[in-house]
Amino acid sequence: MSCSTNSAQAGRAGLMAGLSKLTGQAGYTSGVIFTQATQALDRVGQLSAPVTNLALRAIEPTGSRAARKRAATVKLTGTAIAVGARLAGLASPLAKVKLAAMVSEKVTGKLGTAAATLSDTGPAGSVTTERRRLLFFKSKQTVELNRSGLTGWLNRRNVIGQRELQASNGMVFTIGRKSWHRGTVTFDVDQNKRTITHLQSLSYPAEHYYFDRRLSNQQAVALAGGQSKPETIPGFIGRISKTEMLCPAWAGTKKALILAQLHWQDKR
């Protein structure tokens, strides 16, 4: 009886040891595969970088006149859509879409604020900014910043491939009845350090701003509050507007171009 029991225990121990070794080998093998896949992705990304950069600059101009170019493009696009919708008899449905988008932004904005509050993991300081009242009056506003449990998940979504993160941090804040998340992540691409900062509103349709360096808390709050333009902030790479987010195919394509620039294009 004793010999039989010892034999069974020895058998189970051997089986567990074998399974543990097999699991370790499988983990090592999958890690090697992911690493090789990421390296291959980097080679393709670097080769296609000039093309993706050209495409991004065509739809997302930069420089001193970028804001005016974008405003002109938006105005022309809006006029073309309005005229086309009227000629096609779609003016009424288009107005309903705009109204639905406004309602969606307000409702999901409240949900985003609730998520920011629930994910709060501690204070991260505060920023004092100006707030315009009516047309001529300004007042000081203190914006509280908080660390968030959402940061790890949101930051990882901006990283292409299986990469070891050197740093990942972020914070949430509320300004103008809307909550925002600023996330910054740092990692290596072919032994070159890359930093991505993503400022996004926690609502739908959302606003997204991407930079190739860290934003200060003051810069993030000023941009979210409309006190500054993204083109005036160093490191700005691209944005996805609320209007663009209403077309998922376009928004997805533009995000892919922006992330490709952030991963594989040399800093300008």
Most confident of 26-30, 130-134, 153-157: 153-157
DSSP for residue 215: P
On the question of pLDDT at 79 being above 70, the answer is no
Amino acid at 141: Q
Q: Confirm whether 63 is domain-assigned.
A: yes
List pLDDT tens digits, range 13-66: 555 565 555 555 544 455 556 567 777 777 777 777 788 878 887 777 766 555
Q: Order of strands across the sheet with 236-240?
A: 120-133, 137-148, 165-175, 178-189, 192-201, 208-211, 236-240
Number of structural domains in the chain: 1
CA-only gyration radius of the chain, Å: 24
Distance in angstroms (rounded) separating the CA atoms of residues 31 and 75: 49
Kindly state the tokens that stand for 50. 């000039």
Q: Tell me which residue range forms the domain holding 88.
A: 55-264
pLDDT attached to residue 61:
72
Q: Is the pTM of this model over 0.85?
A: no
In a domain, 237, yes or no: yes
Whether 49 is covered by a domain: the verdict is no
User: Per the domain annotation, does 134 fall within a domain?
Assistant: yes
The verdict on residue 10 lying in a domain is no
The reply to whether 87 falls in a domain is yes
Considering the domain boundaries, does residue 20 fall inside one?
no
At 212-262, the pLDDT tens digits run 999 999 999 999 999 899 999 999 999 999 988 888 898 999 999 999 999
Average pLDDT of the chain, as a whole number: 79
- The string of DSSP codes covering 175-205 is ETTEEEEEEEEEEEETTEEEEEEEEEESSSS
In a domain? residue 23:
no
Percent of the chain with pLDDT over 70: 70
